[in-house]
Amino acid sequence: MRNGMCRRVVLAASAALMAGGSIGCSTISKTDYNAALAENEELRMRNDELVSQLNRCDADRQALATDNQALARQVSDLKTTPAQPGLDSGFGNIPGVSVERGASGELIVAVAGDVLFDSGKATLKSSAKQSLDQIASVLNSKWSGHRIRIEGHTDTDPIRKSKWKSNEHLSAERALTVEQYLVGKGVDNDRVYSAAFGPSDPRSTKQQSRRVEIVILAAAG
């Protein structure tokens, strides 16, 4: 719309300048005639500049259209990337697990906090170990050459009734618990580490915010 307006303004201005520059010489003196010629030449130069501006507007419009198409393709690619993550990653059909690609291409394997831990606790539920066993198996077979970051996340509710000083402390302990379990299942300790994010990266609901993410990074070495 902006480029269209630019074109209309430039064309209108150009037409006005040309109309103003078209004057007769039969009723004016030689001095006035020469002045009119000089003014007409100036108007023609201004018209040429306006035409040049119009061409630049057209070039900008075409460049913006090209950029918009490229961005649309990128958005489409981002939307379709998580469509079949489990099929490609090896983590499909593991209970309580979701998989997506991060902005930098890392693979994010999220395990629901309620699947792993009771509220306010950092001790694994017995039922959680089956899911972690499957995750460890995939990490060892399909992703054995990659660094892994275990991230602890919580909801935004402040700590009141548990022993933890803050959500950051709870998320750190949960991440470390998952890390130690996976290492105990054969995941190389030298390529895995944990990090605590507390409530700093929430999801759309509190339940979704409570999670541990196993982030598979670039290949080690």
Does pTM surpass 0.85?
Answer: no
33 and 93 fall within a common domain: no
Domain closes at, from 81, 114, 148: 81
Domain closes at, from 38, 64, 81: 81
Give residue 14's domain range. Answer: 2-81
pLDDT tens figures, 24-56: 445 668 787 777 777 888 888 888 888 888 888
Tell whether the model's pLDDT for residue 76 goes beyond 50: yes
Least confident span in 58-67, 75-84, 153-162: 75-84
43 and 122 fall within a common domain: no
Domain count, the chain: 2
CA angle 27, 29, 35 (to 5 degrees): 110
Least confident span in 59-73, 94-108, 144-158, 191-205: 59-73
How many of the other CB atoms lie within 10 Å of CB of 97?
Answer: 21
Tell whether the model's pLDDT for residue 65 goes beyond 60: yes
CA-to-CA dists, residue 36 to 25, 62, 187, angstroms: 9, 39, 88
Helices (H), 81-102: 85-89
